[in-house]
């Protein structure tokens, strides 16, 4: 069968982004100028000394004095623009860019060697490895077609399937692992796409529609991202924030969180759908019905679930169950690794096929992002950026109430594209919560805590922002050619404006409406302030 990939090939050849050597030089120049030419800010030197970060780095034998500790933090800051440029332009393979993060950490001695290794091979990387392997097995046994029939089989046309997809994924992502849903559904989107474009084939020639492929994958990815605001079960960052409130004797219940967050999820899901349909309004294939019907027909032909499908489905349920009930003791990585073991032990997949199907590029990229996040946190670079931003908010009169919530959510949403959502919340929570308490505004520290945690769900514009992005990128391939449906720069291109839209919806619907309609219990600000003052004394 012949394939028309003209548009895909053309897009790779045209444009400034195709000059890989130019962007390689620009990225290296950014690192060199910031790291070795620009003087270390005095405020950064003072911060690492005052917060005893320099003392810690000296104890770790990473720095000799305060000045060198601050310089190490500046080197980490210099890695950010370089990494963004390389990730976005693919001047280097994204997996290699990920490897550069620990390489720089080793050669510039930014952290103790043992700690660098732990950042690159901890629970999160093993979790992503297992999820990618799960996706390979689901595709291999054909279970993704059955999943597509269950979720989207009843829809028809073009707009309805996209709306149903975005709303259902945003709501589901509030209660079960969005990362798992990304692994299950990315192959489904590829199958729907293939069925839709195949229906238009002319004498055996398939005319690909890259815009449709991107529409389907990004609708899935971004809808799962925004689901993180719905409930504490959506992610570790929500639980971390609830822990901060408990420290100030103002705990929030699971149900109370849902009163503020769950009404946002379907609205955000609809916003994702509307935005995607607008951005990709020029797709050639504007009828998904043939793809949905083709998958439904193939599912019928498959008959009852086969042995392999039952094992794969049982594996999915088991892993999901272990994530929910054993997350604290087992972590996410432990259960996820069963996706590498169960298919081989039960003989439903070949070991070499699993390894060959895993997107190692996406895995190394995400591991590198975790290393960069750890470097930002441990060297004080992230804390310096946060304090710089908050000082700016105070300078323009945004130090309390709505202004503070908008400012903190903006910074939290920005940082989560560079660090994990849990890491961002863990970093900003101890800064944001006391600021909210001291402002004396009714509803604090819940209001600023929710603002901070909500925005960490909007990691739309960098591929390293969340495992959802990495999973969809890794599993989103054309079924007939194996070529990738999306590129890292597409996240910037299509995700940045959606990031702004999601923040704006949160400000208007969340801060201005739900905060007032749901309200806050009386006395929580005074209780939290009493705890804060007692610890200060």
pLDDT at 130: 85
Work out the average pLDDT over 522-536: 83
Least-confidence region, from 205-209, 346-350, 501-505? 205-209
Q: Is the peptide bond before 335 cis (omega within 30 degrees of 0)?
A: no
Looking at 104-113, 169-178, 351-360, 520-529, which range is the least confident one? Answer: 169-178
What is the tens place of the pLDDT at every residue in 210-268? 999 999 999 999 999 999 999 887 877 887 888 889 888 999 888 899 999 999 999 99
Tokens 């739900």 found at: 514
Predicted pLDDT at 16: 64
Q: According to the model, what pLDDT value does residue 395 have?
A: 80
Of the two residues 42 and 181, the one the predictor is more confident about is 42
On the CB side of 336, CA atoms within 13 Å amount to: 21
Write down the pLDDT at residue 59.
94
Whether the predicted pLDDT of 64 surpasses 90: yes
Q: Report whether 76 contacts 35 (CB < 8 A).
A: no
Q: Which residue has the higher pLDDT, 295 or 490?
A: 490
- What pLDDT, on a 0 to 100 scale, did the predictor assign at position 507? 97
pLDDT confidence of residue 1: 38
Nearest-angstrom CA–CA distance, 327 and 464 = 23
**Residue 204: pLDDT band with limits 50, 70, 90:** low
φ, ψ of residue 4 to 5 degrees: the values are -100, 100
Q: What pLDDT score does 7 carry?
A: 43
Helix (H, G, I), strand (E, B) or coil at 304: coil
Report pLDDT for 225: 95
Indicate whether this model's pTM tops 0.85: no
pLDDT given for residue 203 in this prediction:
63
Residue with tokens 């890292």: 488
pLDDT over 90 percentage in the chain: 45
- Give the tens place of pLDDT for each residue, 69-104: 999 999 999 998 898 888 778 888 888 988 999 999
Q: Render pLDDT for 296-309 as a digit per residue (tens, 0 to 9).
A: 887 888 888 899 99
Q: What pLDDT shows up at residue 5? A: 44
Which tokens in the block code for residue 218?
């990004």
Average pLDDT over residues 31-55: 94
Q: How many CA atoms lie within 13 A of 210 on its CB side?
A: 17
Q: What is the pLDDT of residue 327?
A: 56
Cβ(450)–Cβ(518) below 8 Å: no
Task: Give the pLDDT of residue 2.
Answer: 40
Give the DSSP H/E element, type plus range, for residue 207: strand 206-207
Reported as a single tens digit per residue, the pLDDT across 113-153 is 988 988 777 777 887 788 788 878 887 888 877 877 887 88
127 burial (CB, 10 Å; 0-12 / 13-18 / 19+) is buried
pLDDT at 402: 92
Q: Phi and psi dihedrals of 175, rounded to 5?
A: -125, -25
Does residue 12 carry a pLDDT above 50? no
Q: For residue 37, how far is the Cα from the chain centroid?
A: 33
Q: 344 has which bridge partners?
A: none
Residue 8 has pLDDT above 80, yes or no: no
Once rounded to an integer, what is the mean pLDDT over residues 467-472?
Answer: 89
pLDDT for the residue numbered 387: 81
Would you place residue 457 in the very low, low, confident or very high pLDDT band (cuts 50, 70, 90)?
very high
- Whose structure tokens read 């089989």? 153
- Using pLDDT thresholds of 50, 70 and 90, give the confidence band for residue 108: very high
pLDDT band, very low/low/confident/very high, at 11 (cuts 50, 70, 90): very low
Distance in Å from the first CA to the final CA of the chain? 76
Residue 420 confidence (pLDDT): 75
Q: What is the pLDDT of residues 408-453, one digit of tens each?
A: 999 999 989 877 787 788 878 888 888 888 888 889 999 999 999 9
Rounded to the nearest integer, the mean pLDDT of the chain is 86
């Amino acid at each position: 069968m012949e394939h028309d990939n003209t548009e895909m090939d053309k897009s790779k050849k045209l444009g400034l982004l195709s000059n890989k050597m130019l962007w390689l030089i620009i990225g290296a120049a950014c690192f060199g100028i910031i790291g070795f030419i620009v003087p270390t800010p005095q405020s950064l030197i003072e911060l690492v000394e005052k917060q005893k970060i320099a003392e810690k780095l000296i104890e770790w034998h990473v720095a000799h004095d305060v000045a060198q500790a601050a310089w190490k933090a500046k080197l980490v800051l210099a890695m950010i623009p370089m990494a963004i440029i390389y990730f976005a332009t693919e001047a280097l393979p994204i997996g290699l860019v990920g490897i550069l993060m620990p390489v720089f950490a080793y050669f510039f001695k930014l952290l103790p060697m043992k700690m660098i290794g732990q950042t690159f091979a901890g629970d999160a990387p093993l979790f992503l490895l297992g999820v990618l392997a799960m996706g390979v097995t689901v595709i291999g046994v054909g279970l993704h077609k059955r999943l597509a029939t269950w979720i989207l089989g009843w829809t028809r046309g073009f707009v309805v399937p996209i709306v149903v997809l975005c709303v259902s994924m945003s709501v589901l992502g509030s209660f079960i692992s969005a990362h798992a849903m990304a692994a299950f559904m990315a192959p489904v989107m590829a199958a729907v796409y293939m069925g839709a474009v195949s229906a238009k084939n002319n004498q055996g020639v398939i005319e690909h529609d890259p815009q449709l492929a991107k529409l389907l994958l990004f609708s899935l990815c971004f809808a799962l991202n925004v689901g993180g605001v719905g409930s504490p079960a959506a992610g570790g960052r929500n639980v971390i924030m609830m822990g901060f409130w408990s420290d100030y004797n103002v705990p929030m219940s699971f149900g109370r969180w849902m009163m503020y967050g769950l009404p946002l999820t379907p609205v955000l899901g609809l916003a994702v759908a509307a935005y995607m349909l607008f951005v990709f309004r020029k797709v050639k294939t504007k009828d998904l019905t043939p793809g949905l019907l083709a998958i439904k027909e193939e599912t019928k032909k498959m008959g009852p679930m086969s042995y392999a499908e039952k094992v794969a489905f049982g594996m999915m349920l088991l892993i999901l169950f272990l994530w929910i009930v054993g997350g604290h003791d087992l972590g996410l990585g432990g259960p996820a690794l069963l996706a590498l073991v169960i298919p081989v032990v039960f003989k439903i997949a070949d070991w070499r096929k699993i390894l060959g199907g895993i997107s190692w590029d996406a895995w190394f990229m995400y591991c590198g992002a975790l290393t960069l996040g750890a470097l930002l946190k441990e060297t004080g670079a992230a804390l310096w950026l946060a304090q710089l931003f908050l000082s700016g908010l105070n300078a323009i009169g945004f130090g309390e109430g709505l202004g503070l919530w908008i400012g903190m959510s903006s910074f939290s949403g920005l940082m989560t594209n560079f660090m994990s959502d849990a890491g961002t919340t863990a970093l900003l929570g101890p800064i944001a919560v006391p600021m909210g308490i001291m402002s004396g505004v009714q509803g604090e520290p819940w209001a600023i805590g929710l603002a901070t945690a909500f925005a960490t769900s909007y990691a739309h514009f960098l591929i390293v922002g969340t495992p959802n992005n990495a999973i969809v990128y890794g599993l989103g391939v054309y079924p007939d050619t194996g070529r990738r449906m999306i590129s890292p720069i597409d996240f910037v291109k299509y995700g940045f404006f959606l990031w702004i839209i999601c923040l704006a919806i949160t400000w208007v619907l969340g801060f201005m409406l739900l905060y007032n309609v749901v309200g806050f219990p009386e006395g929580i600000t005074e209780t939290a302030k009493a705890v804060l003052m007692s610890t200060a004394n």
